[in-house]
Amino acid sequence: MKRTLLFYIFTSIFITSFSQKPFDNPNDNEYLMTKTINLKNVQQNVSGSPYFTEDFQRGSVFKRNIAIKKNVNLRYNASRDLFEIKFNKNQSKVLKQTEDIYVIIDNKQFVYVPYSQNPDINGYFEVLSNGKLSLYKKYNKQFREGKKSINSMTTDIPATYQSKEILFLTNNNGEFTELPNSKNGKIKSFKSHHKQLKQYIKDNGLNINKENNLIKLVKYYNTI
């Protein structure tokens, strides 16, 4: 009788613990908003996607450089500038937007720059290179309304998400400099050592309009 009672107690505890939802952890309010997103709400007749990648990917959430959630399903909504964590097959929740929380997904690190720090430049950025001078990338997805055909000779223009990527240099004081498209413009965006940078580009045959070469240039600048 005693063994039977212990068996039922153990079974009850086991079932209860595994029936908890993924976000029942009381510490979740440290990094999750209360906002819930219905994953079944799919926009119809829209070209493109508001997401950096449409599917959820495995990633980790860090707070003050400590991993607080590992190997969870994440995706970045670049249109609304927020990260979603999958709650179940029908719902996701939103990561808190604060500078002490960052995400690593698909070997990419995304940090949040608050509005109070940069009123004109804020939100999530991918960290391409980190140091006394860092290189950040901003992903923008802007929604454009579609247009109905005005006659039988033309066709409807569907609504679409237009993608844009912007590169920034940022220093330890939180100052951001948007990089122009031209090579010379990029070099001038560095505050100093222009001659050395040009020589480094020449010696190494770098095309700094290519992202991987620009990363090399930023890393070199940090050694000068």
| One-character DSSP codes across 35-100 | EEEETT---SSEES-SBSSSS-EEEEEEETTEEEEEEEEEEEETTTTEEEEE-SSSEEEEE---TT
Nearest Cα to Cα of residue 139 among 124, 119, 153, 117: 124
Residues 220, 223, 224: CA angle, nearest 5 degrees:
95
pLDDT of residue 187: 98
What is the β-pairing status of strands 46-47 and 159-171? parallel
**pLDDT tens-digit profile, the chain (224 residues):** 444 444 344 444 433 443 344 444 547 778 888 888 888 776 667 888 899 999 999 999 999 999 999 999 999 999 999 999 998 888 999 999 999 999 999 999 999 999 877 777 899 999 999 999 999 999 999 988 777 766 666 666 778 899 999 999 999 988 999 999 999 999 999 999 999 999 999 999 999 999 999 999 999 999 99
pLDDT of residue 28: 76
Nearest Cα to Cα of residue 30 among 61, 56, 7: 61
Domain ranges of the chain: 181-224
pLDDT of residue 94: 95
Q: What's the pTM?
A: 0.81
pLDDT of residue 143: 86
d(CA 47, CA 143): 10
Name, in order, each residue with C-beta under 8 angstroms of 214's C-beta and a sequence gap of 6 or more. Answer: 128, 135, 167, 179, 186, 208
The crossing angle, in degrees rounded to 10, of helices 194-204 and 211-221 is: 130
Q: How many helices (H) and strands (E) does the chain have?
A: 4, 12
d(CA 157, CA 160): 9
d(CA 125, CA 143): 19
